[in-house]
Structure 1
Amino acid sequence: MFLHKIDEEVSLKLVAMNDAERLFELTDRSRHYLREWLPWLDGTKTVEDTRDFITFSMKGLAANTSMTTMILYKGEIVGAASFNELNWTNKVAYIGYWLDQHYQGNGIMTRVAKGLTDYAFDELNMNKVDIRAAVENHKSRGVPERLGFKLEGTLRQTEWLYDHYVDSAVYGMLSSEWKDKV
């Protein structure tokens, strides 16, 4: 089993079918909070929907095109973080993440994004890590900003959120820049 320890409190483990109930519980209890920025909440109404997501995630892992992990904080699943896409041709890893609202404010997501960035460069030999967030999602944008990612631009109306489009801020970090930071 893949377990990537980031520090004494935070680690990542590959999503597994036995995570479905906990993952759905977190999704359901943070539904209103998460719905502001994530487009998939209305399609996740049951544990079975979460199982379907896990199956999809496992197929992405098997195809080596993505990697979905559960965020463990003090041993408990508190959210998810992924390489939503692994572009091997261009050596770019695209990170996505969400965290249960009850665990916000502990620096968890910044540590997770740092851990995934380290993994992308050190283990996957990627050249670039990309993190995107809705322009108005200041909490999510704060993660790459705290890690020194460069704001590369804004993509207009890139995501449909239930009844409106949102623009995405695109952040990037190159392997050569990351190694200079460490």
Structure 2
Amino acid sequence: MRDNIKVKLVSPEDAVSLYDQIEKTRPQLAKFMPWGDTMRSVEDERDFLEYCQNRMKDKKLWITSVMIDGRPVGMIDLHNIDLDNSHAEIGYWLGGEYQGNGVMTDCLKCVIEIGFGEMKLHKIKLLAEVVNIASNAVAKRAGFELEGLLKDEIYSEGEFHDANLYGLIN
């Protein structure tokens, strides 16, 4: 990963910068993320980050802020962690001004290494709306294989959308 790009465990102190990126990227986030329209204040974001920290304690979530030059500009996580069956799902978003430069691909590869190495996962799954070309491209660049199409899997913008299911096996 490039020296100026890092992932770090989330902290409520990240709320102001993350919310700034949400505001700047809201139309795109709302198109693909169910929470894109509902995250309405720095306090909402801070509450969410505190919730995430609590969920990490029960080992069902591992979530980081994407940092560029020391500033939180997005998030990437492993969620629905099932340690009994050694798998998890991955999700991510990135502020619009940082997209298209390989940042998320770098972060995804880093989180994959952590998932397979430190967490001893066997499989990581990734869902991307079929029409989200950028997210599908990130999955492919990181080595994920398309496993299938899930009909009406993701609810956003007031309707259900088809999603590509990708998998990566260690």
**Residue number in structure 1 paired with 2:73:** 78
Residue in structure 1 matching 2:130, options 111, 131, 135: 135
1:70-128 CA-partner distances (Å, limit 9, x unpaired) = 00122221111111221112111211000000011110000111011111111110000
User: How far apart are 1:47 and its partner, in Å?
Assistant: 1.2
**Alignment partners' CA distance in 1, 2:18 and 2:72:** 8
The answer to whether the aligner puts 1:121 opposite 2:77 as a matched pair is: no
How many residue pairs end up in the alignment?
Answer: 170
Matched, 1:52 2:47: yes
**Partners of 2:90 and 2:107 in 1: CA distance:** 10
Residue 66 (str. 1) matches residue 61 (str. 2): yes
SS at match of 1:112: helix
Structure 1 residues not aligned, in runs of 5+: 1-5, 176-182
How many Å apart are 1:67 and its aligned residue? 1.2
Corresponding position of 1:108? 103
Residues 30-81 of structure 1 show CA distances to partners (whole Å, capped at 9, x for unaligned) of 1112111111022211111111211210111111110110001222211111
Structure 1 residue 36 corresponds to structure 2 residue 64: no
SS at match of 1:125: coil
Secondary structure (helix, strand or coil) at the match of 2:32 reads: coil
State TM-score, norm by structure 2.
0.96
Contact 2:5 2:69 in 1 (8 A): yes
Specify the SS of the correspondent of 1:42.
Answer: coil
Deviation per residue, 1:156-176 (Å, 9 max, x gap): 10111132110110110100x
CA contact (8 A) 2:31 2:157 kept: no
SS in 1 for 2:140: helix
**2-structure distance, mates of 1:160, 1:26:** 22
User: If the length of structure 1 is used for normalisation, what is the TM-score?
Assistant: 0.89
Aligned sequence identity (%):
32
Question: Aligned partners of 2:99, 2:2: CA distance in 1, in Å?
Answer: 17
Name the counterpart of 2:139: 144
What is aligned with 1:20? 15
Q: Which runs of 5+ in 2 are unaligned?
A: none
Rounded Cα–Cα distance in structure 1 between residues aligned with 2:94 and 2:31: 13
Counterpart for residue 88 of structure 2: 93
Q: Identify the residue that residue 179 of structure 1 maps to in structure 2.
A: none
- Following TM superposition, the consecutive aligned residue runs of length 4 or more in structure 1 with deviations greater than 3 angstroms are none
CA distance in 1 between counterparts of 2:115 and 2:42 reads 30
The CA distance in 2 between the partners of 1:147 and 1:47, in whole Å, is 32
Q: Output the aligned Cα RMSD.
A: 1.1
Q: Is the 8 A contact 2:17 2:71 kept in 1?
A: no
* 1:170 maps onto 2:170 in alignment: no
Name the SS of the counterpart of 1:144 in structure 2: helix
